[in-house]
Amino acid sequence: MNFDKWQDAVEAAISTNKLSVAGEVRGGQLIQYADSSGAQINILAVEPFATFAGFDSVAQSFAHVQMLNDVVALCEVVDYNGNPVTTVTCNLAQGPLLVDEPEQRWQQIGLTALAQDVTRYPDVAAFAAENGEDALGSLRSAGAESINDGSQVPTAAVEFSARVLESDYRTNALTGDRYIHATVDGSFAFDVCLPDEGELPAKDSVLKVSGVMAGSLVAPGGCGDGGCGSGSCGCGGH
């Protein structure tokens, strides 16, 4: 979303008449704009008011999810046997609906890194030569690291390196801007959105990225007075 101010993004989303209400929050609403390219804008239209980007991820994982505030969630990513893989914070699309709920365990979640700074390497060997052989697949979540530090406001900032599985060009229907979407294999499989370049990242090339992690639950549980089946959590009551 290439906007100078978030107010401009909200105004552009409203003008499409494609906004949907994801759920009711404290007498207000959580509103979402979903772009045909997968890009999303989430708008919390009640105090503390927030607007944050999201994405319709291709890769899916399982995680135990705990909200830290209305937007930022702490996600303990686990494998199919329940073994911890890594812990990361993200801006969660359904966050405002879950902020007053207990930890949501075994949630199917799509996580996407919205890249800000990117270094591309043609292959694993080139990456290892500059960063070391053990650095591939690393992930650092500043928000997760500062979870017990009351002086730090939790954020969804993330730094990682990962091997590219596939990539394609997408065009944001709201702005007309082209960008690169990739799925990657790092400490786990997730999506990455990159600024446009003339050449797509090749399969098995490596990305070193800093940016913001966005997340979305496939079928949120525990939200709304009647749980997921109440229909108040934006998952359609399924």
- Summarize pLDDT for 145-173 with one digit per residue, the tens: 998 787 788 899 999 999 999 999 999 98
- Give the span between the Cα atoms of 30 and 23, in whole angstroms: 5
Number of neighbouring beta carbons within 10 Å of residue 135: 13
Token code pair at residue 51: 């607007």
pTM for this entry: 0.88
Which residues, 6+ apart, have CB-to-CB distance to 236 below 8 Å? none
Whether 228 and 222 have beta carbons less than 8 Å apart is answered as: yes
User: Could you tell me what percentage of the chain is helix, strand and coil, using 3-state DSSP and rounding each to the nearest 5?
Assistant: 10, 45, 40
Which comes out higher in pLDDT, residue 232 or 123?
A: 123
pLDDT of residue 101: 96
Burial class (CB in 10 A: 0-12, 13-18, 19+), 43: buried
